[in-house]
Amino acid sequence: MTATTLINYSTRDFASKEDLELYLERQDAAFSPDVTKLFTEAGMLRRVVTRIWNKKHTFRVGIVFEYRDQAAFEACKPLLEKHYLSAVEGLATQVFGSRGVVLHEFVSDEFQD
């Protein structure tokens, strides 16, 4: 069992491959080691960005944020606004977000934090 109790999952759709690549460059720069440390100290446990590949002619990423608890999520909100949202501001994307509380989890012995 992991320590994750709250997950935020969103997808971002882009008009072109170039827009998606620009987003990836900006978000990579935004989550520098120093900024990642701030998020970790605030209670973010994990962040994953995926390229959605099973939708033809779509330029989409999936983004997972995992938090220790609701308090960690709240503590990370201002960090997201300051470091992440400001970095990707101005990009034309459609964002679809969902938040969930972990109800069931399977973690393989092969999975490492």
pTM for this prediction: 0.84
What's the distance, Cα to Cα, between the start and end of the chain in Å? 11
* pLDDT average, residue stretch 35-52: 94
Token readout for 78 is 């201002």
Burial 63-91 (b: 16+ CB within 10 A, else e): bebbbbeeebbebbeebbeebbeebbeee
Query: Structurally, what CATH architecture does the domain formed by 6-93 represent?
Result: 2-Layer Sandwich (3.30)
Place of tokens 């969103």: 10
pLDDT of 18 reads: 93
Give dist(CA 27, CA 39) in Å, integer: 14
| pLDDT tens digit sequence for 77-90 | 999 999 998 888 88
Is residue 68 within 8 A of residue 4, CB to CB? The reply is yes
Residue 90 is predicted with a pLDDT of 86
Q: What is the pLDDT of residue 111?
A: 73
Specify which residues 59 forms β-bridges with.
Answer: 14
